[in-house]
């Protein structure tokens, strides 16, 4: 069902209508017209409703994101949000629709983006044997063959540099949007209030003024010295600021943990079928994926 949900293409007529005419969202909502597969949406909504009902029936709580939302549910008779401030949301509480929608986003954002990030990482490990060997040596020194612990993952500095460069070249989301709450002037450009601004993440990550030779894969871009020389806003695979991706730390940890376990036991090499450079699918609704399967050879160390 998650695969079905993330199969939306830019070429979808409903997607294009909503992208170019955002005000049509209200019309679509009124008539229950969805650009995503209805059966998949209903599947995830039912899962969430069942989980909520089970907790209520059994009077149980858990230390997780769903529980935080349940705790902030104050009923459906809620006031309007005027300015989008935290204080307004605290007063109003969260609606059931918002709980369901946020749960759906969590399901999907943790599915395709993390898988794609790991695929791109494996591809780069296979085609850069020198970087792979350096990573293996770092893992061998810090962890050895044991199962990695959270605090050990944080110590792997070169792994972090490597993965940051993977995320620069292959950001999970190619763009992000923000809506202005009031008029603002940025670098001489006036942006009126109520305007949606698109931040072109992928284009920024390949801007030669920010990243010399942007097509070259180079983990050293993310050494402590080099990071100090750049604006932090030149690199934003998970967005930036107070509304950046809430799952950023989990995605980083998941992918790094998988890479460590792979490199502890296996060596990755390209095959005659490995596409170099990798071909990207630019039709998948803003989520960056490989266009074709990525083939590598896996050898026991």
Name the band, by pLDDT with cuts 50, 70 and 90, for residue 8: low
Helices (H) and strands (E) in the chain, counts: 14, 8
Domain identity same for 91 and 134: no
Dihedral angle computed from the Cα positions of residues 171, 248, 17 and 7, in that order, rounded to the nearest 10 degrees: 70
Do 126 and 290 touch, CB atoms closer than 8 A?
no
Do 281 and 7 touch, CB atoms closer than 8 A?
no
Select from 109, 141, 174 the last residue of a domain: 109
Domain identity same for 52 and 136: no
Domain identity same for 184 and 96: no
pLDDT in tens, 202-223: 999 999 999 999 999 999 999 9
Q: Which residues are annotated as a binding site?
A: 245
For residue 217, the enclosing domain spans 112-300
Select from 92, 109, 126 the last residue of a domain: 109
Do 270 and 297 touch, CB atoms closer than 8 A?
yes
Domains contained in the chain, number: 2
139: domain CATH number? 1.10.630.10
What SS3 state is found at 41? helix
pLDDT in tens, 88-137: 777 778 888 889 888 888 877 777 788 899 999 999 999 999 999 999 99
Tokens of 210: 């920010």
Domain identity same for 49 and 79: yes
Domain identity same for 116 and 82: no
Domain identity same for 104 and 159: no
pLDDT in tens, 179-204: 898 999 999 999 999 888 999 999 99
Encode 171-182: b = buried (16+ Cβ within 10 Å), e = exposed.
bbbbebeeeeee
Taking the C-alpha atoms of residue 237 and residue 108, their distance in angstroms, rounded to an integer, is 17
Residue 95: the pLDDT is 85
Select from 109, 124, 153 the last residue of a domain: 109
Domain identity same for 77 and 205: no
* Greater model confidence, 20 or 165: 165
Domain identity same for 287 and 218: yes
Domain identity same for 76 and 45: yes
Q: Which residues are annotated as a binding site for heme?
A: 245
pTM over 0.75, yes/no:
yes
Residue 202: the pLDDT is 95
Domain identity same for 58 and 181: no
Domain identity same for 152 and 185: yes
């Amino acid at each position: 069902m998650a695969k079905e949900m993330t199969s939306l293409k830019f070429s979808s007529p409903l997607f294009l209508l909503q992208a170019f005419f955002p005000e049509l969202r209200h019309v679509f909502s009124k008539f229950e017209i969805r650009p995503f597969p209805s059966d998949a949406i209903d599947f995830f909504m039912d899962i969430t409703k069942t989980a909520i009902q089970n907790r209520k029936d059994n009077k149980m709580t858990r230390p997780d994101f769903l529980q935080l939302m349940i705790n902030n549910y104050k009923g459906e008779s809620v006031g309007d949000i005027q300015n989008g401030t935290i204080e307004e949301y605290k007063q109003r509480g969260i609606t059931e629709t918002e709980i369901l929608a946020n749960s759906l986003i969590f399901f999907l954002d943790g599915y395709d983006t993390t898988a794609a990030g790991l695929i791109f990482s494996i591809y780069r490990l296979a085609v850069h044997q020198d970087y792979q060997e350096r990573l293996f040596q770092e893992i061998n020194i810090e962890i050895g063959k044991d199962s990695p612990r959270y605090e050990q993952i944080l110590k792997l500095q070169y792994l972090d540099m490597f993965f940051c460069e993977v995320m620069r070249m292959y950001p999970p989301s190619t763009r992000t949007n923000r809506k202005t709450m009031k008029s603002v002037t940025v670098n001489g450009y006036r942006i009126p209030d109520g305007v949606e601004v698109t931040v072109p993440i992928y284009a920024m990550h390949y801007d030669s003024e920010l990243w010399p030779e942007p097509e070259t894969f180079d983990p050293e871009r993310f050494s402590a010295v080099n990071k100090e020389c750049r604006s932090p806003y030149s690199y934003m695979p998970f967005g930036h600021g107070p509304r950046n991706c809430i799952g950023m730390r989990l995605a980083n940890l998941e992918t790094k943990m998988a890479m460590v376990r792979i490199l502890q036991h296996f060596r990755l090499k390209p095959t005659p079928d490995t596409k170099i450079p990798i071909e990207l699918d630019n039709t998948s609704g803003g989520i960056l994926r490989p266009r074709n399967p990525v083939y590598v050879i896996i050898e026991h160390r």
